[in-house]
Structure formats: structure tokens, C-alpha cells
Amino acid sequence: MGWCELNTTTAPEAHLRSIGAYGFDERAPQILAALVTEDPMLLIGASGTGKTFLLNSLSEALGLEHRHYNASLLSFDDLVGFPFPDAERKCVEFLETPATVWGAESVLVDEISRCKPEHQNRLFSLIHERRLQGIALGRLRYRWAAMNPCSADQDASGAYSGSEPLDQALADRFGLFIQVDDWAGLDEKDQLLIADPSGEGTSSPRNEALKRELARWRADFEEGLPRCPRAIVSYASSAATFLNGNGLRVSPRRARFLSRSLFAITIITGGPLEKAFRNTLAASLPQPTWGASVDQALIEAAHRLAWDSSFLAGDEQWIHHFHTERLLLRKLKLLLKAPSPDAATQAIAEFIGSEAPERVAAFCPLINAGTETDNGQTGRKLVMDYYGPRVGQGGGALSGKHLTHVDRLGAYAAREAAVEAVRSGARECKIILAYAPNIHEPLELAYEMEGRGVTRGRSDFSHRVLRQRCSGFIIDDSWATGTHFWDEAAPWNAGQRCPPPPPPDHRG
């Protein structure tokens, strides 16, 4: 399904305003998306902010058979009714009442964070599977909940001391978490509308326009979901990978929820809108339900990376890939494939302005030559030095160079570690090191390995450490005959660390 096929006739917030729900303009796309996907939705906000009003009004406007339960007072019999044996006494049936959940199309579990733990566990199957006691709730479409901010996330006032952190497994079953604004977060127009008491206590009339739009959106969603646009899936995957890599867990289930919500929003809004994607990413994170804070800068960074990688094209997409690649060697390879000189120039300029000086040095011109500013001499012995193994090299020769030079020590250390990895179980191992002048530890260390083998840390390749370890090894002109990487007399070819320094009078 292409974006051009999607269209909308009414702004998302207008649908909520039409049922008297004000102050939800920024969250309207996400709220409507939850109606389209029919994934569970949880509203979080201070008391009196209209959470319950919104959800009950939606059920009335859509003409749903609705159940509203207060979880702090809920007993399990309220949900299922009174159990009694059937006529043949072979199974248990339930005596239904107008309050039982059987036959409901929408369910609101209010004050869910004040629910008793044993009831919270029973609500799990209702929210996650649309089941109770193992029995499917065939008519149930919408599962909604509301809560105050949990007590773990409150200040010393203890305004919501009874609102407990939600069980994380239960929280992860909700698709979206809508943060509802308090009075200070509303604009003046919405404040006046909310303060107006006219119409209080009346039910919302059936909203046929919203019902028709929702039916159309839902049909497009079900038809298009099997071929969900690749850019949406890419956005969800990239954002989840980034957040997990930065210490904020996003479950595989949550990444799938995010894709579903984003697809629904593109149907509602007529295409991928960057602000709506960013807000949906933020609304997909469950951490606030158990009192954990989420760094907004981290969400912004995840959105920026995911959006640029999924929706940019041409030079902009290449520049994005250049900046997201952390390995300097691969950055250099990307530069060789730049789509245009202008793109390469822009990428380098942005790189120089944002990276640490030692990383920038790898891309800067050589101003002062010699061993004081460069890592070593340029030789003409590359073929002889690297003859034997299948090994890439960075253009620096080994022969004719003192053992203390980092490009020679680093090459031997990489060979030593690679042999060790292979002998400990790996089928093949390649090690990539990148050093910068006057920086002892390598800027980069990358293992490219088939199978599993022993690996070493960055500090093991420190220039200072390597000089101390190998200071006693004797180097003579026999090494200029191409024996660097195949003579097992050299400890690095045997997968052994260089021996400790011998007494001073034996040093070469």
C-alpha cells in the first residue's frame, strides 16, 4: 500500500472534540490508532484530567456494549458472575448480570494501578488474550485502562501513594500509553471549554461520522497489514535497536506494537508524519507505568536515527549512514562510495564538528610528517611483509620500522589475538584495529569471527602495554625476508603473548 492511496477527511483531533473531549489534540492520532488496531491502551494522568470521561465517551459515541470497572474495588465475581454447575454437573457456568464482562465490546479497567495483586494477575488474560478463566470473550474489541502516576514516580507530597507500580509483564501487554495533560498543560481555549459546566452528566450521542471513519480505517488496516510498508517496519526496528543499545529495554512484542500503531496512524493522517511518528514512539514505552523515568533526549535521538534511516533518500540518506557508522575504517570505505562530492564534503564537515579530536584526526590531512606526528614510516615492503596469511593491511610496512612503532606492534598483537581465537574454537578470525597519534588505546577494536573463540579487550591492545610486553624481543634483519606472519618462532604466530622482558643485558 503506497502513501498516495491513503487519505483522511477530518483532522484527528476534530473527532475527539466532536464528542466533547478537549485537551487531547496532541495525542489524538495515537488514541485513534488504538481504536484502529484494537490493541490495549492505557491512559496515565493526574486525577480529574478526563481519562475516564474520554474512554466512556468513546464507547458511547461508537455505540459499544461497554463495561467500566474500578479496579481498586473490583472482585473477580464482578467480572465473571456467580459460578454454578451445569445441568449435567460436568462443567461450571457463570450466572451473568448486567455488570459481567461476557458480551462486552469494550472494557475500561479504571485505577488499574490500585488493583489488588491477585486481581491484577487475573486481568492479565483479559487484557492480553481477551479471555477469562480460559474462555474467549468473542465480542470484546477494546481493552482500555487508566491510572494515576504510580507512587514510585511521585514527589514527596505522596499525592498518589495508593497508586502502585504496574507489573511489568502486564504493562508490556498494552500497545500505547497516553500521558494526559493536567490543567497547566492545556491551552486557554481548552481550559475554558473544560470549565464550562453545560452538558455535564449527559451521555455522548452516537457519532455516526466517527463510526464510519473508524470502519474505513479498520478495513484499510486489515487489508494492508500483511504488506505493512517497509519504511514503517524499518523505523520500529531501528528505534528498538537504538533504545535497547542505550539501556532502555524494548521487547520484541513492543516493536511489533509500534509497527502496528504507526501503520494505523499513516492511514488516519494520510501518510507518515514525522511528529506523529515521534509522539507514537514516546507513547509506546511502558516504563512510566512502573515509575521509571525515560530520558526525552534518548527518545529524540532514537526517533532521529529511525526516521532518517527509513525515510531519507539520496545524499541525505547516505550522510545519515555515514554518521551512524561508528567504525572509522568503515566510515572511510563509505567515503569512497559517496554519491557526490557535496555529500562527502558535508559529511566530513559535520563529522569534524561533532566528533572527539582523536577520531577526527583519522580524516584530517597530514601537516607535519615524521615520527613525532605520524604513526610510522611509509615503506615499500608491503608484499614481502604481509606475504603468507590472508590479511588486510593499512598501507604501513613492518620491515625497517622499530618494534616500538604502533603499526608494527599493533599488527603483531592483532595476529596474536586472531591465532588465539582460532585455536580456542573459532573457524576464522579477523581483527581490525585503528590507532590515532598520541592515543595509547586503539580508537576501534573489531572482531570479525566465524564461530566462537577467546577475545581480548581494548586495553590489551594499548600501545603502552604492547611496548612493555614486547620490549625484550630481539628483532634482526632476518625478519625482512617475509617471516612476520608464518614463522611460529614468533610468539604472535603461536597465539602466545610476547614473553616478559629478559634481563637488561639480553635486550636487542
pLDDT at 379: 43
pLDDT at 136: 92
Q: Which of 357, 488, 484 is nearest to 410 (CA)?
A: 484
DSSP 288: G
Every domain of the chain and the residues it spans:
3-306, 312-363, 382-506
pLDDT at 319: 84
pLDDT at 337: 86
pLDDT at 362: 62
Would you identify the CATH topology of the domain 3-306? Rossmann fold (3.40.50)
pLDDT at 47: 93
- The cell for 45 is 494522568
Q: Which residues of the chain have pLDDT under 70?
A: 1-9, 151-160, 358-359, 361-397, 399-401, 471-483, 486, 495-508
pLDDT at 376: 43
pLDDT at 271: 85
Q: Which residue has the cell 603499526?
A: 407
pLDDT at 287: 97
Contact 46, 149 (CB under 8 A): yes
pLDDT at 498: 57
Q: What are the φ and ψ backbone dihedral angles of 70, each rounded to 5 degrees?
A: -95, 110
Give burial (CB, 10 Å; 0-12/13-18/19+) of 411: buried
Question: Does pTM top 0.85 for this prediction?
Answer: no
Largest CA distance in the chain: 102
Residues 6+ apart with CB under 8 A from 480: 381, 384, 399, 400
3-state helix vs strand vs coil in the chain, percent to 5? 50, 10, 45
pLDDT at 5: 46
